Amino acid sequence: MPLIAPLPPDHDPEVAELARFFNETLGFCPNSVLTMQRRPAIAKAFIELNKAVMDNRGRVTSDLKRLIGYVASLTAGCQYCQAHTIRAAERYGAAAEQLEHIWEYRSHPAFSEAERAALDFAMAASAIPNGVDAEIARNVQLHWNDGEIVEILGVVALFGYLNRWNDSMGTQLEGPAQEDGQRFLSGRGWTGGKHVEKVF
């Protein structure tokens, strides 16, 4: 059971209207947002931030942003967000080879040098203590401009919030996300952890 149970999707009409955004990204409103709506201002601010961060402005594509979110969540250890990001990456058209080989992004030919630089940066930025050093910074600057780096780090920071929220809450995985976690990630040690088990 989660630390705090999510409220029904229609609990707050304003949150429900904003949360329609997730019907595109995930196909459902996530339990994390349904829990946040116990304080509607937090839920609304989070949804607006999510929309701003995930807005596709060019080369940092919608599918790449979800893969960045996946690498950030993998680094942080949040299995709830890993399932959500791999699901959303597929829904936004990530190549099958990228979904199947995200763990080998540093060497697999499905990833470009620019994508590798973004994913290395995401992994380093998600680590505690922070792992962004001069080499990682130079490499991301070699492949991405200032605005694009802001977008990349925006995704990492957004998932830093979500990773802590969902792991601390023990947010229960929704059925479709759990199925995609099993489909794409179970061969790599993904189990769903506390997000599919009773822990509190």
DSSP for the chain, written as a single string? --SSPPPPTTSSHHHHHHTTHHHHHTSS--HHHHHHTTSHHHHHHHHHHHHHHH---SSS-HHHHHHHHHHHHHHHT-HHHHHHHHHHHHHTT--HHHHHTGGGTTT-TTS-HHHHHHHHHHHHHHSSS----HHHHHHHHHHS-HHHHHHHHHHHHHHHHHHHHHHHHTPPPPHHHHHHHHHHHGGGT---GGGTS---
Query: For a pLDDT cut of 70, what percent of the chain falls above it?
Result: 98
Mean pLDDT computed over 165-180 = 97
What is the reported pTM?
0.95
Whether pLDDT at 1 is above 90: no
Phi–psi pair at 179, nearest 5 degrees: -65, -40
Distance CA 166, CA 28 (A): 16
> Is the pLDDT score of 200 beyond 70?
no
Amino acid in position 5? A
In the chain, where are the structural domains located? 59-194
Could you report the per-residue pLDDT of 83-142, keeping only the tens digit for each?
Answer: 999 999 999 999 999 999 999 999 999 999 999 999 999 999 999 999 999 999 999 999
Where does 59-194 sit in CATH, by number?
Answer: 1.20.1290.10
